[in-house]
Structure 1
Amino acid sequence: MKLVGVLLFCSALSLHALARDNDKPAIERAVKDYIESQHKVLPDMMARGIDKSLAKRTYWRSSNGNEFILESSYEDMVDLAARYNINGDKFPESPKMNIEIYDIDKRVASVKLTTDDWIDFMHLYKNEEGNWKVINVLWQFNDTTNHVSN
């Protein structure tokens, strides 16, 4: 009887791992929508990858030296994708993009995106339609001295 219990437990673990593996491409797609939309100036791609309730944050220092939390919304990020790289000079010709999926548990995931200039720690969720969306981002420049207003 104990063997049957162990086998059932192992089968459940295998099914959970398979479900997680099946979600990885969709999670990576949402993260790529987020970053590639900035590279390619595609606001619709950004909108596809992020949730309308997006909360993106980092620490920032004002020109007078006071530190504060700088926040970006869904609208801010869609607008950013439409204009940030409009001249094609914000990213290297072959931009670095490393996506590490730390954990997937049913409908939530935790991911780290590393690019040439910054890192993003992201939380994603799978909505009722089965689409993965970025809902939280905590980011910083690789060179943290860049966290200053001019």
Structure 2
Amino acid sequence: MKKLILLLFVVSFSLQTNAQKSDKELVTQACMNYLEGFYQGDKAKLKSALSPTLHKFGYWKSQKTKKYGKKIPMTFEGALKFAENVVSKNNYAKKGSPKKVAILDIMDKIATVKVTAYWGTDYMFLAKQDDGSWLIEQVIWQGPNKK
């Protein structure tokens, strides 16, 4: 009986650990789809990563004035338009551009992530959907990154 209880405990713990790993993989994939969507102009990847109610904004520091400009907003539709422009203007990310995803925390329904991209650093909030997928709900960013 003790062996059976121990076995059930080990199996239960393994399943919980695998579920957490699965969430980690899904969050990472959503963030990589976000980066690759912008880098490659891939609207399908952006649609798989972004909530239709996306709230994204950031600040860009001018190389000339060394000052940050006004807040730059972007909606879900704006992200898709950006991807279209990448393709139509042949303005793809340079080879070797950073694509770093650092998960800061994952809970049952929410996750926070730091992403480093060619334009700068993004901090993201993701939400787990009813189907188990993760979507990026909010992003705040600044750029460019310091060299």
TM range (shorter): 0.7 to 0.9
Cα distance in 2 between the residues matched to 1:84 and 1:40: 7
Gaps of 5+ in 1: 1-11, 145-150
Tell me how large the CA RMSD over aligned residues is: 2.9
1:84 offset after TM fit, Å? 2.6
Query: Structure 1 residues 83-92 or 39-48, which shifts more?
Result: 83-92
Aligned to 1:54: 54
SS at match of 1:68: coil
Partner of 1:29: 29
Deviation above 6 Å: which 4+ runs of structure 1?
Answer: 12-15
Q: How many residues in Structure 1 have an aligned counterpart in Structure 2?
A: 134
1:119 Cα offset (Å): 0.8
- Residue 88 of structure 1: CA displacement? 3.8
TM-score (norm 1): 0.74
1:128 counterpart = 2:130:
yes
> How far 1:48 sits from its partner (Å)?
1.2
State whether residues 39 and 85 of structure 1, in contact with CA within 8 Å, keep that contact through their aligned partners in structure 2. no
SS of corresponding position for 1:84: helix
1:13-92 equivalences under 5 Å are 18-59=18-59, 68-92=70-94
Q: Is structure 2 residue 111 aligned with structure 1 residue 109?
A: yes
Note if contact 2:120-2:142 (Cα within 8 Å) is conserved in structure 1.
Answer: yes
Q: Is the 8 A contact 2:121 2:145 kept in 1?
A: no
Percent identity over the alignment is 23
Amino acid of the structure 1 residue aligned with 2:39: H
**TM-score when normalising by structure 2:** 0.76
Deviation at 1:72, TM superposition (A): 0.7
Structure 1 residues 96 and 143: alpha-carbon distance in aligned structure 2, compared to 1, 3 A threshold: closer
Q: Distance in 2 between matches of 1:92 and 1:67?
A: 24
Whether contact under 8 Å (2:85, 2:91) holds in the other structure is no
SS where residue 123 of structure 2 aligns? strand
In 2: Cα distance, 1:13 partner to 1:104 partner? 18
- Aligned-residue offset at 1:16: 5.7
Whether contact under 8 Å (1:38, 1:82) holds in the other structure is no
The residue identity in structure 2 corresponding to 1:53 is: T
Single out whichever of 132-141 and 52-61 deviates more from structure 2. 52-61
Once the two structures are superposed, what CA deviation does each residue of 1:40-93 show, in whole Å capped at 9, x if it has no partner? 2211211111001100011368xxx99532211010001111213544444211
